[in-house]
Structure 1
Amino acid sequence: MTVSPDLLERVRATLAAEGAEPTPTRVAAVLRANGGIAGGPIVLEVVEALRREAMGAGPLEGLLSEPDITDILVNGADEVYVDRGSGLEQIVLRTGDEAAVRKLAARLAASAGRRLDDASPYVDVRLPDGTRFHAVLSPIAAPGTCLSLRVPSRHLFHLDDLISAGSIPPAGASVLRDLLDARLAFLVSGGTGTGKTTLLNCLLSLVDESERLVLVEDSSELRPDHPHVIRLEARPPNVEGTGEITMRDLVRQALRMRPDRLVVGEVRGAEVVDLLSALNTGHEGGCGTVHANSASDVPTRLEALGAMAGLNRDALHSQLSSALQAVIHLVRAPDGRRRISEVRVIGRTPTGHATTLPAVRFVADGNLELCDGANRFTKLLAGAA
């Protein structure tokens, strides 16, 4: 039986006025005083709803526990979307009015030690359970306070799982294993929600157990099945504006921790300069992810990120050409299926700038198609390039 919002509000208001905890005994008394049914199931349902509001994710709590949900989006009052792997779908879920959504957003931010109010109207944090939480308060956001939750996977995917799901053809798995064994430096590229982190996690799980992985992330998401993993996580400034630890700080620290493979979960800022520098000074096999619409856009994307650190175009391309060997690009089909579309190698244009050359295409029928860069890719795998 579902408790009506009006009844729940009356119980909440009474308990708040009395300063009482939502214990079963007290809730039953309030229900009787309001002329409601005070049976055991109703009492327990009200108690659970009030405790979720006070401590958990409120009406979103049930969604966070569903194993297939990767994203939860709240667009103001009672407008909720989820992604179960096939794209966004709107669901029927009562979140309460704007004040209730705003209160929920502030509580989730507070659980991660951050403030969310009119003076600081947006936040991007990782919740204690690993969920990535972002919120923007109304009226900056319309139609109301907007919440975005990226739920960490509860299932550790392996390469065989991606093959079964159709994300990688069986022959493609051998290509990826060879790339890892050759210790090529690579980036996994793609748009939002294409599965970049999932693929990188799978690949890192295949790295030889004798190697030490040092992961640098803005928000900890990678969980490779590997016995020797060190994780470094960036930290935003506190409410006084101090205490920030940037990705660039952590990449520099990681280089002093004897990594066999330096991994940057997502290359998104000035840390690209330190990563490329590291890959140019003996740190083989480094990798990470980057947002890009296509593999051919990766050099341009890195060029823009390098500019944030004051590195000019020619210097960035010179570093990139010698530091990075391959790009693995992911796409998401209209039906929501995520898959690898191609592997490219890094080359140079006649002007000396870095470019990407298609080496292997993963075509829709599950076959592989060799492209112009295949010979160079073969040489890189053999250590001859």
Structure 2
Amino acid sequence: MAEPFVVQPRPRRDPDPAAPGDRGDPAAPAGQLGALTPYLADPGVTDLFVNGATGLFVDRGDGPRPDPAWRASEREVRELATALIARGGRHIDDATPCVDVRLQDGVRVHAVLPPVATSGTALSIRIPRLRGADLDALCRGGSFGDDARRWLVQIVRERENLLVTGAAGTGKTTLLGALLAHAPAHERIVTIEDVAELRIAHPHHVSLEARQANLEGAGAIDLARLVRESLRMRPDRIVVGECRGEEVRELLTALNTGHDGGAGTLHASGLAEVPARLEALGALAGMDDHAVARQVCSAIGYVLHLERSPDGSRRLASVGRFTDTGGRLGIEPVAPWREAA
């Protein structure tokens, strides 16, 4: 019989040995994240990282910090990864060593097995703490001001096509979900994601999720195909949760053929880097720089760029509009809510 996890999560500051589920209670039942479940009770935790037997790192908004109380062997971490991926409806093994899944309440788990992860099984867990956050809540939290909030509502209702950019953990998905909640109730929103994370307070939201290949290597459905399938579903708005490959071609084509009010997200560390990122993705789809510039300038109305401060706060740092300069894609910063005032 396999030995149980040798895991000692950090105790609460005021532990209550009699309280069920307390971090100091070794008999606490395993929950959604197994031995990591107690960290869900800490509202400050946004990310958990397990690096094989090396240790656990916890991010409470100020960057990952090691937890000296964590103890687990490589075998135990691998078993935890296998269980979590299975709970998300997928499988991970030597033939499929890198898998990403979404669990209940939007918790996202990414796992990589050795030898791809050279230091042992690597687990990266994203815990969404702003479930169902709306624009008012984001405004109160300091993400943007009242003028910007009113402008954001306006461009959604005017069916502007939007691209939300930022580095990992800046709140791109949260902002996009809050924006789409302001789409008219009679519109049909189809969202396409590698792992379904978008939560939209809207009565007509259809979510499509990519699928990895089965054990025989068949049955995979990628984002590019899902974008094409969505066009047959009579959507009013098409949203791609994260453009990271050739699906950018299908998205731009859809947004240029009457599907206004669509949106997508893109990883970029700064507003000025967005054009280069799109050119790189366009190249993967067989598009040259001139084609990317023409398609993007025609398809995307505004770029909303987010940043995360060292203290963990997230904000709308800048807004941009694309330009076509001699056949090359460029971008210029704008502040439309200030200009309107």
Q: Shorter-chain TM-score category? A: 0.7 to 0.9
Q: What letter corresponds to residue 190 of structure 1 in structure 2?
A: G
Give the corresponding residue for 2:283. 307
Query: Of the candidates 350, 353, 359, which is equivalent to residue 334 of structure 2?
Result: 359
Q: Is the alpha carbon distance of 1:261 and 1:119 closer, same or farther for their aligned partners in structure 2, counting shifts above 3 Å?
A: closer
Deviation of the 1:87 alpha carbon = 2.8
Highest relative contact order (Cα 8 Å, sep 6+), 1 or 2?
A: 2
* 2:306 is the counterpart of 1:330: yes
Query: How far, CA to CA, are the matches of 1:195 and 1:261 in structure 2?
Result: 21
For structure 1, which segment, 337-346 or 76-85, has the greater mean C-alpha deviation from structure 2 after superposition? 76-85
Q: Percent identity?
A: 46
Question: Alpha carbons of 1:114 and 1:233: their partners in 2 closer, same or farther (altered >3 Å)?
Answer: closer
User: Equivalents in 2 of 1:113, 1:165: separation in Å?
Assistant: 34
Q: Which residue of 2 aligns with 1:194?
A: 170
Task: Indicate which of 159, 163, 170 corresponds to 2:139.
Answer: 163
Give the CA deviation at 1:162.
1.0
CA displacement at 1:72 relative to structure 2: 1.1
Structure 1 segments unaligned to the other structure (5+ residues): 1-7, 14-39, 362-367, 371-377, 379-385
Amino acid at match of 1:297: E
Alignment map for 1:364-375 (pairs within 5 Å): none
Instruction: Flag the structure with higher helix content.
Output: 1
Q: Secondary structure at the match of 1:206?
A: coil
- Alignment of structure 1 residues 134-145 onto 2, 5 Å: 134-145=110-121
Distance apart, 1:150 and its partner CA: 1.6
Mapped contact 1:136–1:147 kept (Cα < 8 A): yes
**In structure 2, the residue corresponding to 1:189 is in which secondary structure?**
strand
Listed as ranges, the gaps of 5+ residues in structure 2 are 6-17
Structure 2 residue aligned with 1:69: 45
Which amino acid is the alignment partner of residue 333 of structure 1?
S
Question: CA 1:72/1:46 → structure 2, altered by over 3 Å: closer, same or farther?
Answer: closer
Q: Which runs of 4+ in 1 moved over 6 A?
A: none
CA distance in 2, matches of 1:162, 1:260: 26
Match of 1:254 in 2: 230
1:133 aligns to 2:105 (yes or no): no
Letter in 2 for 1:71: D
- Whether the aligned pair in 2 keeps the contact of 1:67 and 1:154 (CA below 8 Å) is no
Alignment partner of 2:321 out of 338, 342, 345: 345
Q: Deviations over 1:222-264 (max 9, x none)?
A: 1111111111111111111111111111111111212111111
Query: In the alignment, does 2:34 pair up with 1:58?
Result: yes
**CA–CA distance in 2 between the matches of 1:154 and 1:326?**
24
RMSD in angstroms over aligned alpha carbons?
2.7
Asked if 1:151 is matched to 2:127, the reply is yes
Closer/same/farther in 2, CA of residues 253 and 84 from structure 1, 3 Å limit = same
Deviation string 1:44-85 (CA, Å, 9 cap, x unpaired) is x66645xx3xx8533112223544432111112262122233
Name the structure 1 match of 2:72.
Answer: 96
Q: How big is the shift at 1:111?
A: 2.8
Whether contact under 8 Å (1:59, 1:95) holds in the other structure is no
In 2, are the aligned partners of 1:122 and 1:134 still within 8 Å (CA)?
yes
Does structure 2 retain, via aligned residues, the 8 Å contact 1:80–1:90?
A: yes
Q: Tell me the SS of whatever aligns to 2:195.
A: coil
Q: Residue 141 of structure 1: SS of its match in structure 2?
A: coil
Partner residue, 2:13:
none
SS at the partner of 2:245? Answer: coil
* CA–CA separation in structure 2 for the residues paired with 1:144 and 1:237: 24
Q: 1:161 to 1:129 in 2, by over 3 A?
A: closer
Superposed counterparts of 1:15-34, under 5 Å: none
Query: Cα distance 1:231–1:98, how it changes in 2: closer, same or farther (>3 A)?
Result: same
CA change 1:41–1:254 in 2 (3 A) is closer
Correspondence for 1:31: none
* Matched residue count: 324
Separation (CA, whole Å) in 1 of partners of 2:97 and 2:201: 38
Partner amino acid, structure 1, of 2:241: G
Shift in Å at residue 210 of structure 1? 2.1
Q: Does 1:293 align with 2:284?
A: no
2:260 to 267, 284, 290: 284
* Native 8 Å contact 1:185 1:326 kept in 2: yes
**Greater Rg over alpha carbons, structure:** 1
